[in-house]
Chains A and B, each alone.
Chain A
């Protein structure tokens, strides 16, 4: 079985995000970019499937700026087999929206014929949480989202989903789209031999036109603002004062 893993190049999760002065977006100039952490988990899961003999090839796709190639190489250094870069935008500040991404991915799925698409549940930059679901809809495939456990059982996959208040295990028919959550696995480091091999692995460069997909934005960003700063707390002398404040000031009890 072939596994397709789409990965997104996003602002590194360690970077303290700064909103641009004109509220048009987040400042991405000179900022460290990395693979979306949820996508890293998807890559790790694909590699584990391959190690378990349940997958034979892992194809990485990234849609975005040319530099997304580095993100693909990182996945190849972790152990994926080859990559496809879809150069969709020149400017890192232009986000390719989930629907356009899903449409391109649907075309790639048609060409590549994977038995499973493993996506991160969402990208940590815009938190859309939509691409995997849209892709499943476009393909008419089953979907299992927020996976914290995944087992391939013949022509079905058992997906344990992290839902509000607990875990839900569902059985989906393969081929399927599975979006992965934080607790599915812990991604490995790229090993030195794999880092050295990554460059030799094939990486195709495509454009949205190759797939006949229009990536022009449909959404307009009105304004981006920093979350309100947390105010300093207050110290209370005793439980009575705390109860009083909760009752009369905060009005929560």
Chain B
């Protein structure tokens, strides 16, 4: 067993860390204040990421990516997690589900996404279908050789900048003993397709500038060429490709927690009350001890689940554990960091209140904590027939 990083991994970590510190941090206040990423900043981050060969580094080399392993990519995302989500969105990491592209789709979607020429987004959630994906109402009906789509998606991150969106849409319904069950198909939908509108969603407490959008389909006509994977095979592509992406939330939570911790530990060493650094009081120092213990635990849990993917081992439960634990750890760490800073922690002169707000969504998106607990417990009990 070896817990060390290779020389390459060390360099990947240090390059991405410097990139985040130099190219992301300086713009964070602006994004936080305005809720917008100016186009020239977005373009510059994308251009520099492309130059460095990190753009789409999660894709295999044969399609122009860097072919990083799951562990390597987890390290990249961990460092990115330190910076603003709105900004590091342009440190492009297209959805790896695009690997399901076939034939002409590769030239139209996969390759331009890897080259940084087109940006993608992924749409599943609806106002009445959150954790219950199969409850989706957005429906595609056969009409001649095409599909005609009606319905609404919301909370679609990154759709504001997307040139095309991978949308999961119901294409049929089966009667099962448990009641009717939707058949789902993944579609590639271009921005600008008639009958398809992308509009602003809600103002969120977390990740200002990383917008959630609403997608509306009003008799939107899509030919068969837009189907990603098989018709009615939406769950198959989802399971094959989206399985690993939950690690992203875990890795980014760990990265952000480490940044928060740096603030907390240096403040505890510098801030003096009652004639000594507050870190000398156990009330503060023990909080720091708990914080770093939890951060390390989340870090190892996350890297271990990425390692299992690299080894081709089952990792569903481990990924769920990492996502659950890291996101909840981040909530505790950001909260404790504010407690250590006292009133100053709440002021927007420091980024701590932002980290605290941003942390809240991590327990919700990409599968709530409850869904992760469900996955973990089903994995334990199903084999026992319970």
Contacts and interface: CB of A to CB of B under 8 A. Distances in A.
Contacts of A77: 11, 15
B53 A199 contact: no
A193 B14 CA distance: 15
B203 interface: no
Given A190-B15, A192-B57, A199 B66 contact: no
A198 B7 CA distance: 9
B8 A199 contact: yes
Contacts of B66: 192-193, 196
Given A73-B7, A189-B18, A189-B19, A195 B12 contact: yes
A73 B9 CA distance: 12
Nearest to B16: A189
Contact of A189 (B7, B10, B52, B57): B52
B175 interface: no
A191 interface: yes
A70 B15 contact: no
Interface residues of B, number: 15
Contacts of B18: 189
B294 to A, nearest CB: 21
Interface string B43-70: 0000000011110010000000010000
Given A189-B15, A189-B19, A196 B51 contact: no
Contacts of B52: 189, 191-192
A198 B11 contact: yes
B7 A199 contact: yes
B10 A193 contact: no
Contacts of A199: 7-8
Contacts of B53: 191-194
B11 to A, nearest CB: 5
A55 to B, nearest CB: 21
A131 interface: no
Contacts of B8: 195-196, 198-199
Main SS class of interface, B: helix
Contacts, number: 42
A192 B59 CA distance: 13
A191 B10 contact: no
Nearest to B9: A195
Binding site secondary structure of chain A: helix
Interface string A53-76: 000000000000000001001100
A216 B44 CA distance: 50
Nearest to B65: A192
Contacts of A73: 7, 11
A193 B52 CA distance: 8
Interface string B166-194: 00000000000000000000000000000
A70 B7 contact: yes
A194 B66 CA distance: 11
Residue in A70, A190, A193 with the greatest tally of chain B CB atoms within 10 Å = A190
Contacts of B11: 73-74, 77, 190, 195, 198
Among A189, A190, A196, the most chain B Cβ lie within 10 Å of the Cβ of A189
Interface string A162-199: 00000000000000000000000000011111111011
A34 B57 CA distance: 25
Interface string B8-32: 1011101100110000000000000
Interface string A73-92: 11001000000000000000
A192 B7 contact: no
B57 A191 contact: no
Nearest to B269: A16
A190 B11 CA distance: 8
A74 B8 CA distance: 9
Contacts of A74: 11, 14
Given A191-B51, A193-B66, A198-B7, 8 more contacts: A70-B7, A73-B11, A74-B14, A189-B19, A191-B54, A192-B12, A195-B8, A195-B12
29 contacts: A34-B14, A70-B7, A73-B7, A73-B11, A74-B11, A77-B11, A77-B15, A189-B15, A189-B19, A189-B52, A190-B11, A190-B14, A190-B15, A191-B15, A191-B53, A192-B54, A192-B57, A192-B66, A193-B53, A193-B66, A195-B8, A195-B11, A195-B15, A196-B8, A196-B66, A198-B7, A198-B8, A198-B11, A199-B8
Interface of B: 7-8, 10-12, 14-15, 18-19, 51-54, 57, 66
Closest 8 CB pairs of A and B: A192-B53, A195-B11, A193-B53, A191-B52, A191-B53, A189-B15, A190-B15, A192-B66
